[in-house]
Amino acid sequence: MRTKTIALVFSALLPLSVFAAPDTSNKQVQQEQRMQERQSALFESLELNVKQREAFKKEMQRHHEKQRADRKAHHDKLRELLTPKQQAHFDKKIEMMQKNMHKKQKMHRQGKSSRADCKDK
C-alpha cells in the first residue's frame, strides 16, 4: 500500500518536470525520454493493464494542463494588481523562479546536494 501511495504521489509530480525542459531541443528530447522511462517504471510497479495505462496517462496530462492554465490565470490576476513597473519586476521574478526550479531538478537528477555543485559550464 505504501509503495502504491508513493508511486501515485510520484506520478502526480512527474508532469511538473516538463516545466524544467531545457531550451535546446536535444535536451528536451532527452528529458522527455527520461520522463517516459520513469512513467513506464511506475506503470510496471503498479501492474497497470493497457486500458489503465492510457487512462492514467490521459488523466496525468489533463491534470498537467489544468495546473498550467491555473498558474497562468493566477499570475495574470496578480499582474492586474500591479503598476507597469511592478509588472516588469514580477515577470522577471517569475522567470527567475522557473530557472531556479530547472536548476533544482537538474541537481536532483545528477545527485548533487548544493547549487554550487550545479554550475552551468
Mean per-residue pLDDT of the chain: 79
> What is the percent of the chain with per-residue pLDDT over 90, rounded to a whole number?
32
Mean pLDDT score, 46-70:
91
Residue 6 has pLDDT above 50, yes or no: yes
| More confident site: 1 or 70 | 70
At position 17, the amino acid (one-letter code) is S
Residue 55 has pLDDT above 60, yes or no: yes
Residue 100 has pLDDT above 70, yes or no: yes
Pull the grid cell for residue 106.
Answer: 537538474
pLDDT tens string 64-80: 899 989 999 999 999 99
User: Which residues 6+ apart lie within 8 Å of 40 measured at CB?
Assistant: none
Is 40 within 8 Å of 49 (Cβ atoms)?
Answer: no
Cα–Cα dist 23/21, whole Å: 7
**Domain layout of the chain by residue ranges:** 1-81, 84-121
- At 62, the pLDDT band (50, 70, 90 cuts) reads very high
pLDDT tens string 22-44: 455 687 788 788 888 888 888 88
